[in-house]
Amino acid sequence: MAGSRYAFLDGPTPVAMAHRGGAIEHLENTLPAFEACVALGYRYLETDVRVTSDGQLVVFHDPTLDRITDGTGRVDALPWATVRTALIGGREPILRLEDLLGAWPDVRFNLDIKAAGVLAPLVRTIRRLKAEHRVCLASFSDARVAAARRLFGPEVCTSLGPRGVAALRLSSYSPRAAGLVRIQAGCAQVPLQLGGRPLVDERFIAAAHARSLQVHVWTVDSGAEATEMLDLGVDGVMTDRPAMLRDLLVARGQWTGA
C-alpha cells in the first residue's frame, strides 16, 4: 500500500478524515466536534496548530481570535491565560494540543502547522506524549515542512509541501520531470482544484502511487465530489461533513472507521 512505511498510514484505505472536526456540521476545532466525529467512528482527525506568546500549543486555524470567538487579537501575541478565556461560537473554549492528543490515544491526527514558531514546542510535545506514530505534519509552507522533517526525523509522517505537489503534478505529465519529486513524505494532501482547474486525476494518483505516496483530497463536502474522488482511487478524503462522508463510505462498503 502506498505510504505504509509510516505508522500513521498503516491502516486500510480510503482514510476518512474529519477536517477541523467537521467544520460544517460542528463548531470547528472544539472538543464537542471531535467527540462527535470519534463517536461516528472516525479514527483520523485533521486540525490546526498555533502557539501562544508563552509557548502553549493550541488547536486553532486563524491567526487571530476574531472570526470565530468572542475574543480579539493575534493568537501568537497573547498568553495562554488570555487565549483560554476566548470562546468559540461564544460557547466552547480553545483546546490545547496536548489535551486533544491525550483524549483519544488510538486516534490519529493530521496537524497543519500554521506558523514557524509552532515547530520547537511541537517537537517537545509530540516526543513527550510519544505520539510520533499517530501524527502527520502538514503545512502550506515548504520551509515549515522541511524543518519538520529535519526536527522529527524519518519516523514521523509528513505531507508534501506546495512545491512537492507541483513537481508531482508535472511528473504525472512528463516522465522527464520525475527527478523533480524528491520523496521525503508519506502523502500528497491536495485540494480538489488548483487555479480553478481540477488537480486530482488518474495520472496524478498513478504518479503518487509510483512513489509510494498516498493521495488525500480536501475539502470534500458533497456526495458527488466524494464519489468522484473515491472512484478515481484516492487514498483519503478530508471533509467538513463527516456524517455525509461516513454514510457514503458505508453505502459503498468502504468505511474503514470503527
Active site residue 216: no
CA–CA distance, 223 with 258 (Å, rounded to integer): 21
Annotated catalytic residue within 19, 26, 209, 216: 19
| CA-wise closest residue to 5 among 157, 131, 110 | 157
Average confidence score pLDDT of the chain: 94
Which pLDDT score is estimated for 177?
A: 61
pTM reported for the whole predicted model: 0.96
pLDDT tens, position by position, 68-86: 999 999 999 999 999 999 9
Q: How far is CA 86 from the centre of its chain?
A: 24
**Known active-site residue 61:** yes
C-alpha cell at position 154: 524519518
Sequence-separated (6 or more) residues with CB below 8 Å from residue 68: 27, 28, 61, 62, 88, 89
- pLDDT digit string, tens, across residues 215-235: 999 999 999 999 999 999 999
**In whole angstroms, how far apart are CA 254 and each of 2, 12, 23, 185, 186?**
17, 9, 23, 25, 22
- Decide: residue 196, CB within 10 A, 0-12 exposed, 13-18 middle, 19+ buried: exposed
pLDDT at 66: 98
Integer Cα distance of 218 and 189 in angstroms: 7
Catalytic residue of the set 61, 133, 209, 216: 61
* Superfamily name with CATH number, domain 7-252: Phosphatidylinositol (PI) phosphodiesterase (3.20.20.190)
